[in-house]
Structure 1
Amino acid sequence: MIYLGVFEMKLRRRSTALLAIGVVAFSAAPAQASATSLIAEPTVTSAEYPDDGAWHPGAGMPGSFTFNANGDDAVIGFYYGNTDPAGTYVAADHPGGTATVSYIPQTSGPNDLYVASVDSAGNRSPQHVHHFYVQSTEPQITGPRETGVGVPAEFRFAPRIADVVSYTYRIDDGPETTVAASADGATTANIVTASKGLHRLYVWSTTGAGLTSGTADRIYTASDAPLVASTDYPDSQGSGGPGVAGVFTLTPRMPGVVEYTYYLDEEWSKPTVVPAAADGTASFTFTPAASGFHSLKVFSRAADGTRSDGSRDYYVVVN
């Protein structure tokens, strides 16, 4: 019983020592910012982008933001950024003082700038959220919803800010291309898409002073299927009549097209081949014998024998 009592006392002493070590190790870890932080939340002001619910300069347009510790001498600097928590550090002009930074919002609409004060030990204050509204400066994009593959497609860019001298664009994560703007600030770009499928076109403008607008984007599809058009028999619209001839024009959507093959009413054993002109276009005439519905499926073929992966379906409705 005596030995057992001694053992229990030693065990209690060892446990107490281990607990003490654990407390010391935990308290040595850097304090984390929390709602109970002793550092006061900073104030944020901006002449260009005040937190007033109104719309201000625009995406890509810089503004100055001043962070103020309001005399809290423990504060030596600030963390700020458009993500929570803020990640960019700037020193205060003196303990408890201020810091002014230039910040460029990249997107139009509601924006948030997160700002926290920090002391010499790395402790942060509660985070201040400066909420402001940014006008749209992204250029306007007009162009086709479907382009060809390896052939140019025309897109037009128009400015939303003054003094635009150029536009820069890229497809997906591809290389950037810059084109000059005309005197009215707009321009037309002939853009070549290299692969089939869904793509996103990104465009931004630059002013004579070197300011960059926000980035506009437009989703489109690229297909090598040829285009089919007819003023006599528009696609899927009742037109013409029995014995009324219709001219159908074919336009290439891939390079080097020398001929087209089309199938009428899914008669796969009866292809019709139409030679292309030097520019890759072609036309043929179809004269329906009776009223009703006819389907066309059209492929193109290049000089090296490559046939378009895609086919164009066109529907003739005869009155």
Structure 2
Amino acid sequence: MSFGARPRAVLASLATLGLALAAATSPASAADGAPTTPTQLFNGHRHCSTDANRPSYQGTGGGLVVEGIPGITDTTDNPRVGVRYQAWPVTDPTRITTVTRDRVPPGFEAPATLPASALADGQTYAWQAQTVVGDAVSDWSAPCYVTTDKTRPANAPTITSPNYPPDEWNKGGEPVEFTLSADGVDDVEGFEFSWQQNLPVIGTSMGDHGIPQPVDPYSDTKYFKHADALGGSATLSLVPPAGSGPKTLWVRSLDRAYNGSAIASYTFGVSSATPTVTPAVPKPEFGEPTEFTFRPDPELQAKSPIVSYSVRTNGLQNDRTFEVAAGADGTATVDLALDGIYGGNLQVHSKSANGWVSDATWWSISYDTTPTVASDAYPENGSVGGAGVPGTFRFTPKVKDVVSYTYTFNNGDPEVTVPVDAHHAASIDWTPASDGSYDLTVYATTRSGIQLAPYDYFFTVK
């Protein structure tokens, strides 16, 4: 939400544009059109208020940027125009402060800064603008009214919750009800809050021609809430971030100029509550579709019905995250084929109607998908045979639907793939050219193209 760098960049680019165009334009061309009253008036990148009874409140510790778009009746000769700003305390209209912005292109905002030294804290000022073209000037704009506020709220807000006591563990399952109070600061307009300690920065983006695009921060209800009255309080109903553990809400008060107080915090604990995950059979077979049933934590279901489950698969051929709708009793079923060559796991969260997200339940399974390798002539880990002595090696599967085996001796030889027989097994004949240690690596491939886990079969030829 921070746009602080953008206005400066826009102002810098406008200044550069003004200098470049000024170098190419003769001063005489500025007198070719009549000046008109500036439009698009802003102060502190917020809308100008022309109602003396409802001034704009501004933090003016670094002065106050006032701006408007100067007007001229004829722009065919690309003239340069200026804007003159005058400001005065409404209690003393004779104390006028004047600032100007010279030689700017028509149609662009022409900002200038009223110095902080001319703006007393807590005072209301009026300001107005006129276009200057050579010796000619436009009419003054209608006055804009600003009340200066250089002082942030003296006290941090107070935070209370009736259903999640501070520094205690709570079951969870329902939103946290908070009451935020101004703690006696009478000019607090509202509050800013977040589950992150770094609260968003209030800023304004800049549109075409340098025109500010102010947005009421209180329209963002994720982070801001108006007090029920100036200096009053506000109530929140918030679902904390998913998962159990300590939770902290960070809050500061805001006055009408958006000056922020010190930040207060409220910490409480949420204990774990997870759904149960049950397969239709205790140990699902590799790659076989199996029905899984998800059941809610009873206390969560009682507080707000479970409406869905978020499921994340890990270790399978095509891992994904998906949602499963729950029935009226909070349960749900889904068919899953677990095809991870070493196994896999499910991570399952329940989601309540009120937005609560539970801790995750982890359900996992492991598989041995390596083939079985056997040889009478060259038994595993044995030291037999000899150079030129043939041997037969038989490969058999541990899982269903195997269609081929791929093998290599000593990992450096080319891989060879052989099809399976009617029993999904295969045999190869091999004769060693020399004695020494050998590593026969074999893996199977399924009909769906899954390359299963490899098996290393070690033996020694005498």
Alignment TM-score > 0.5, same fold? yes
Structure 1 unaligned runs (5+)? 1-16, 221-225
Q: Show the counterpart of 1:261.
A: 406
Q: CA deviation at 1:190?
A: 0.6
Q: Show the counterpart of 1:169.
A: 311
Q: Show the counterpart of 1:73.
A: 186
SS of the residue corresponding to residue 425 of structure 2 reads strand
- Farther-moved stretch of structure 1 (88-97 vs 178-187): 178-187
Q: CA deviation at 1:43?
A: 0.9
CA contact (8 A) 1:106 1:214 kept: no
CA contact (8 A) 1:77 1:89 kept: yes
CA 1:63–1:182 in structure 2 vs 1: closer, same or farther (change >3 Å)?
closer
SS of the residue corresponding to residue 397 of structure 2 reads strand
CA distance in 2, matches of 1:313, 1:160: 39
CA displacement, residues 37-71 of structure 1 (integer Å, 9 cap, x when unaligned):
3432111111222222x21133x631211111234
Q: Show the counterpart of 1:9.
A: none
Match for 1:57 among 171, 178, 191? 171
Q: Show the counterpart of 2:159.
A: 44
Q: Which has the higher contact order (CA 8 A, sep 6+)?
A: 1
Query: What is the TM-score when the length of structure 1 is the normalising length?
Result: 0.59
CA 1:139–1:106 in structure 2 vs 1: closer, same or farther (change >3 Å)?
farther
* Matched AA of 1:42: P
CA 1:65–1:210 in structure 2 vs 1: closer, same or farther (change >3 Å)?
closer
CA 1:259–1:315 in structure 2 vs 1: closer, same or farther (change >3 Å)?
closer
CA displacement, residues 231-261 of structure 1 (integer Å, 9 cap, x when unaligned):
999xxxx899999x97631547xxx974333
Q: Show the counterpart of 2:396.
A: 248
CA distance in 2, matches of 1:182, 1:76: 43
CA 1:302–1:112 in structure 2 vs 1: closer, same or farther (change >3 Å)?
same
Identity of aligned residues (%): 25
CA contact (8 A) 1:64 1:101 kept: yes
* Matched AA of 2:454: D
CA distance in 2, matches of 1:284, 1:205: 47
Q: Show the counterpart of 1:275.
A: 420
CA contact (8 A) 1:48 1:57 kept: no
**Structure exhibiting the larger radius of gyration computed from Cα positions:** 2
How many residues are aligned here? 270
State the Cα RMSD in Å: 5.5
CA displacement, residues 246-279 of structure 1 (integer Å, 9 cap, x when unaligned):
7631547xxx9743333355484573513377xx
Q: Show the counterpart of 2:457.
A: 316
CA 1:95–1:158 in structure 2 vs 1: closer, same or farther (change >3 Å)?
same
CA contact (8 A) 1:142 1:157 kept: yes
CA contact (8 A) 1:295 1:316 kept: yes
Q: Show the counterpart of 2:199.
A: 85
Q: CA deviation at 1:98?
A: 1.8
CA distance in 2, matches of 1:131, 1:82: 10
Is 1:100 the counterpart of 2:235 in the alignment? yes
